[in-house]
A and B are shown apart, each in its own frame.
Chain A
């Protein structure tokens, strides 16, 4: 980040009192809306001591929710990673008709309510869905089962990697790849040896955001999961169930794990932005 050009220009800066008031206002606002919820999560989780906290986390249902969340992310993130790389290769390295339409369509899941993201799959594969009877006859269950949870998660995390890679690869242009091809490299060699090293940090950045959303998704997953304890409950859903049962310590204990994940994501994101700012598109978009 360049040095602030305004700090040493009394002619155009604000007075010290205004500065102080604005900084105070910003900090107060962020403290109320960002810091306080985090403090609330951890203090409620530990309200009855470390023992109760740990007991809630080692509960079989909690463990199974953690396992399912990890499994779902392990399927959804790689799928969207492959899609993100393919989409950004097609969009950033070639010029074709209808590109902006394709870009708008890739963004579509961002503007769809999470609840609708789940509903669309219920209407397709649920018992009353268009393929429901056929699936039932063939003994396949998608809705109220793990495949539905994976599908809904893939839907909501769909644009993350692509949205990060497309502007980055557009910025980098095609000269490097063209040189490699002209020198006789195959397409795969070009991608692996020329493109990939250029986009790796942006790729990691996209995967990070995609993963955070995949593990934390609530609305879409809640519609398709059926909330079967020990089977189709992800961590965010388990938080809801425990909370609605007034089991606050356990709810906040599981929530604190998710909050920890969010904090780790933010730290890694910030580290990437500071260290590799020029190799990440999102940082200075």
Chain B
């Protein structure tokens, strides 16, 4: 690292354990102190406090609340729909990223900019817009109704909302990897007689796969916690289309603070495990990429 090299050159390295590497730049104490204080105040203390409140509830009640059928079903719906949406996005997001990186066509830049719409559009706006489209009297919902099935107010509606929310994660993680791919490996594969499809599955896909998995994990993690875009289209029928975040809000509205805290903490726990998984995947991606 250039930073380490230049700072160690200015001063002889201190012996033994040092928290801060030698440097001539000022302001570390202020910046680091402020960062840590702000982080603790806004994020760590409130989150830690919630975990403590959940611990207050006691082990037996914790599991009684978490393992209640309605709660378990909400977990099943939240995680199941988020996984389904992430996998759908893996396919279509890859196609979108591929098209945006490799092909030139009119409107490409506009489409490239629009991919981030789900990041920029408030979730409640996305929620009511998707409901308007997929409700039985909406543009696509009416088609589905004619075909004999419902989209909005079923788990399928939740998947639709989560596909919308998660799509940019896949496209934006895969895009840079596709851009960096060497054309030479493809040429080598082609000159050795591979068909285009063989080149894709045997040469390109393995190179893209780590990024694709990271994108899927990010979209999945976001989908599990998503609230605003889902609650309008889900219909929120208990044990059918009820998601965990909605259950937390429902408990809060009934002044069942213990219930809300326990469910939220259980969800945080699972999210934390997923964060570890994502970190592991990213490290794995990098080590493979470095080769």
Residues of A within 8 A of B (CB): 4-7, 9, 11-15, 18-19, 22-23, 25-27, 29-30, 32-38, 40-41, 44, 82-83, 86-87, 89-91, 93-97, 102, 104-109, 111-116, 119-124, 126, 128, 130, 151, 154-155, 158, 170, 173-175, 177-178, 181-182, 186-187, 190-191, 209, 212, 215-219, 222-223, 235-237, 239-240, 243, 248, 251-252, 255, 258-259, 261-263, 265-267, 269-270, 274, 284-285
Report whether B25 and A29 are in contact in the complex, using a CB–CB cutoff of 8 Å: no
Known: A23-B105, A30-B114, A83-B34. A240 touches B133 (CB 8 A): no
Separation of A11 and B96 alpha carbons in the complex (Å): 22
Number of A-B contacts (CB under 8 A): 319
A115 touches B25 (CB 8 A): no
- Interface-central residue, B95, B103, B133, B190, by most chain A CB under 10 Å: B103
Compute how far the CA of A248 lies from the CA of B32 in the bound complex, rounded to whole angstroms: 48
Q: Which residues of B contact A114 (CB under 8 A)?
A: 123, 225-228, 245
Instruction: Give per-residue flags for B231-267: 1 if the beta carbon is below 8 A from chain A beta carbons, else 0.
Output: 0100000000000111011001001010011001001
- Indicate if B124 sits at the interface (CB-CB under 8 A): yes
Q: Is the interface of A mostly helix, strand, loop or mixed?
A: helix
Q: How far is the CA of A24 from the CA of B92 in the complex (A)?
A: 12
A25 to B32, CA, bound (A): 48
Within B16-53, the residues touching A (CB, 8 Å) are: 19-21, 23-28, 30-32, 34-36, 38-39, 42-44, 46-47, 49-50, 53
Those of B118-153 within 8 Å (CB) of chain A: 118-126, 128-130, 132-133, 138-140
Pick from B36, B104, B190, B257: contact of A128, CB under 8 Å: B257
Contact with A along B154-173 (1 / 0, CB 8 A): 00000000011001000000
Beyond A37-B129, A96-B21, A174-B3, whether A23 also contacts B124 by CB under 8 A is no
Dominant secondary structure at the B interface: helix
Q: A19-B103, A215-B122, A216-B123 are in contact. Are A115 and B111 (CB under 8 A)?
A: no
Instruction: Find chain B residues with CB under 8 A from A154 CB.
Output: 42
Tell me the smallest distance from the CB of A203 to a CB of chain B, in Å.
Answer: 15
Interface pair A243/B232, CB less than 8 Å apart: yes
Report, as a range, how many residues of chain B touch the other chain.
35 or more
